[in-house]
A and B are shown apart, each in its own frame.
Chain A
Amino acid sequence: MTALINKQKTGITPMNRNKIIMPLLLKKVQTFILPMAGICCFLLLWSLTANSIETSLGKFPGPSAVATQMVNLVNEHNTERDKEKAFYIRQDERNEARMAKDPSYQPKVRMYTGKETFLDQIVTSLITVLSGFLVAAIIAIPLGIAIGLSKNLNRAINPIIQVFKPVSPLAWLPLVTMVVSAVYVSPDPMFAKSFVNSLITVTLCSLWPMVINTSFGVVSMNQDWVNVSKVLSLPKLVHIQKIVLPASVPAIFTGMRMSLGIAWMVLIAAEMLAQNPGLGKFVWDEFQNGSSQSLSRIMTAVIVIGLIGYMLDRTMLQLQRMLSWDKSSAQL
């Protein structure tokens, strides 16, 4: 009898140990082993099909070719960096030597103009997408709130949004390029023109989902909260700051995640099309290059692009979890 009671107290009999541990195990299987199994299957299928596809540039790259290429690309980056360092050291030495000979000599400092490596292109693309996204957010969130609050403004702007929303930003690209080269003229530009072009393209495509979602969030705000604000007779600005903005935060985040996903896709395409620095240009250059390595390097880029896109989305999700009060909307 006492043994029984003791067992009940500690709560772990062999039988209910199974009951406790089994679901845990099941959960592990579901969250870890199943995705792993999926990835393994994919790798297997990939290498099998890759082997049987013959192109003019050799076999289609399989997982192992991509892995090798990944290492190559990192090594190339390191070599390039070493070269750069060596270049600057040589230049400094040269300048010092000439200064010693002739004190009136003005030392010339030239920038190193090496090839941009894969890693450089990744950084460029990331900076571009985030800047464009930020610019879009700065425009879209206030605009979305204004549209959500004012039916008349919505009536006025909605047709424009509806017409421009379905336009691929790539269609804008030639126009953007021409306008930027005509308007953005300064002797010492802070940003490269190519960067500005890509940025505007990213901004254009991020804008609409954010505007639409923000205004939707404002419109579908719980009427009770509006009534609370009315009863407190909050001034307009306080109303927006304390009620409207927090109430639409979940919808704003939904819009931001959508935008960022689209922006990343569009940016790569824009870089390919306009030959602007970034991952898109890397892919295009490799394609033009047409060496036996090209396909596997492109495939590597494809996978890296995917991984970065995934990472961007997860970062946004994490941000949403941290900042949004509505935890239920911050799910996958």
Chain B
Amino acid sequence: MSIILDISKVDMVFPTPKGDFTALKGVDLQIKKGEFISLIGHSGCGKSTVLNIVACIHKATIGGVLLNNKEVTEPGPERAVVFQNHSLLPWLTAYQNIELAVKRVFKNKMSKAEMKEWIEHNLRLVHMDHAKDKRPDEISGGMKQRIGIARALAMKPEVLLMDEPFGALDALTRAHMQDSLMEIQQKLNNTVIMITHDVDEAVLLSDRIVMMTNGPAATIGEILDVNLPHPRNRLALAEDPEYNRLRSAVLTFLYEKQRKVEHISVPDTDKVKQKSSSVA
């Protein structure tokens, strides 16, 4: 299949008061159409930075991003982002939040009725049609995240970028959302880059897992192909030897090869512990 997105030898240097800080060094990744990529790595290594460069919210210091062989320089709806903390506009209802995006993308391509149908279709896709007139502060965290995903899907993006979409959710809701996402992915076969901290999530959802080394000057350490057949079932996979091999490969990378050597502050350790234990 053809390469849709080419992240080409990207360096990212942030100017800081204490001098330049090299966050990324030589990040290079080619993504095929319809591929689901997970980006995994320790906190602060630069995963969000990679995503923001693809979305053009940051501009790479060296290197660049090609979408369909054309360099991208401005943010655009063809690279829709699901942000880490839902980022719905609190003054709009769920429906209106999606409407804002749909109106922008399909302004001259859809009639009013078609837009309405399309918005409602996307709400149904994430099973949120019952809450379409609710505002973000009236619905739960998981529901907000679903609306955020629906908003991104409604833009029919060429590449869907997700920054820890389920990071703020409890384990049960997260598992549920992962199932929803797999179901949607079966239907739509989007090209996706998803950042995650969660090893099981990465193995369960992805076609490839991209593992990043620790910063500063982080880069891609290893890439793991996940050749488990779709549709995947989390219970059946728990017994699957291939699944467990992949899982331990990622764990080995994270906790042996890229073990955080510097002192980790207490809240950080808690976070990692909680994440690995809650789903394991």
Bound Cα distance A233, B72 (Å): 13
Of the candidate stretches B9-17, B73-81, B187-195, the one touching chain A is B73-81
Name A245's closest neighbour in chain B (CB-CB): B91
A233: chain B residues at CB < 8 Å are 74-77, 104
- Residues of B68-107 contacting chain A, CB below 8 A: 74-77, 79-81, 83, 85, 87, 89-91, 100-101, 104-105
A230 touching B75 by the CB < 8 A rule?
yes
> B222 to chain A: closest CB distance in Å?
30
A230 touching B57 by the CB < 8 A rule?
yes
Q: Is A326 an interface residue (CB 8 A)?
A: yes
B89 touching A243 by the CB < 8 A rule?
yes
> B225 to chain A: closest CB distance in Å?
30
A247: chain B residues at CB < 8 Å are 89, 91
Q: Is A98 an interface residue (CB 8 A)?
A: no
B80: chain A residues at CB < 8 Å are 231
A222: chain B residues at CB < 8 Å are 87
Name B151's closest neighbour in chain A (CB-CB): A228
Name B101's closest neighbour in chain A (CB-CB): A232
What 0/1 pattern do residues 313 to 326 of A give for CB contact below 8 A with B?
Answer: 00000000000011
Name A324's closest neighbour in chain B (CB-CB): B91
B89: chain A residues at CB < 8 Å are 225, 228, 243, 246-247
What 0/1 pattern do residues 242 to 277 of A give for CB contact below 8 A with B?
Answer: 110011010000000000000000000000000000
Q: Is B50 an interface residue (CB 8 A)?
A: no
Bound Cα distance A249, B55 (Å): 28
Q: Is B135 an interface residue (CB 8 A)?
A: yes
Size of interface on A: residues with Cβ below 8 Å to B: 18
Q: Which 8 pairs across A and B sit closest by C-beta, in order of nearness?
A: A224-B87, A325-B91, A230-B75, A246-B91, A232-B104, A231-B75, A231-B81, A233-B76
Q: Is A86 an interface residue (CB 8 A)?
A: no
> B108 to chain A: closest CB distance in Å?
14
> A285 to chain B: closest CB distance in Å?
48
Bound Cα distance A222, B79 (Å): 21
A224 touching B85 by the CB < 8 A rule?
yes
> B73 to chain A: closest CB distance in Å?
12
B56: chain A residues at CB < 8 Å are 230
Name A230's closest neighbour in chain B (CB-CB): B75
A242: chain B residues at CB < 8 Å are 100
The answer to whether A227 and B57 touch (CB under 8 A), given A232-B104, A242-B100, is yes
- Residues of A participating in the B interface, judged by any CB pair closer than 8 Å: 222, 224-225, 227-228, 230-234, 238, 242-243, 246-247, 249, 325-326
Bound Cα distance A242, B99 (Å): 12
Name B91's closest neighbour in chain A (CB-CB): A325
B76: chain A residues at CB < 8 Å are 231, 233
B105: chain A residues at CB < 8 Å are 232
The one of A228, A234, A249 in contact with B87, judged by C-beta atoms closer than 8 angstroms, is A228
Name A232's closest neighbour in chain B (CB-CB): B104
A249: chain B residues at CB < 8 Å are 91
> A224 to chain B: closest CB distance in Å?
3
The answer to whether A224 and B75 touch (CB under 8 A), given A232-B101, A242-B100, is no
Bound Cα distance A222, B77 (Å): 20
A232 touching B85 by the CB < 8 A rule?
no
The answer to whether A325 and B135 touch (CB under 8 A), given A224-B83, A224-B85, A228-B87, is yes
B77 touching A232 by the CB < 8 A rule?
yes
B79 touching A231 by the CB < 8 A rule?
yes
A326: chain B residues at CB < 8 Å are 90
B81: chain A residues at CB < 8 Å are 227, 231
> B175 to chain A: closest CB distance in Å?
25
Name A326's closest neighbour in chain B (CB-CB): B90
Q: Given A227-B75, A228-B89, list of 5 further CB < 8 A pairs?
A: A222-B87, A228-B87, A230-B56, A230-B75, A232-B105
Bound Cα distance A128, B87 (Å): 42
B87: chain A residues at CB < 8 Å are 222, 224-225, 227-228
> A203 to chain B: closest CB distance in Å?
29
> B11 to chain A: closest CB distance in Å?
22
The answer to whether A231 and B77 touch (CB under 8 A), given A224-B85, A242-B100, is yes
Bound Cα distance A62, B91 (Å): 50
Bound Cα distance A326, B90 (Å): 8
> B139 to chain A: closest CB distance in Å?
14
A231 touching B90 by the CB < 8 A rule?
no
A232 touching B100 by the CB < 8 A rule?
yes
B55 touching A231 by the CB < 8 A rule?
yes
B57: chain A residues at CB < 8 Å are 227, 230-231
> A331 to chain B: closest CB distance in Å?
15
Bound Cα distance A224, B77 (Å): 15
Name B87's closest neighbour in chain A (CB-CB): A224
Bound Cα distance A230, B77 (Å): 9
A228 touching B83 by the CB < 8 A rule?
yes
A325 touching B77 by the CB < 8 A rule?
no
B135: chain A residues at CB < 8 Å are 325
Bound Cα distance A230, B73 (Å): 12
> A241 to chain B: closest CB distance in Å?
11
A232: chain B residues at CB < 8 Å are 77, 100-101, 104-105, 155
> B98 to chain A: closest CB distance in Å?
11
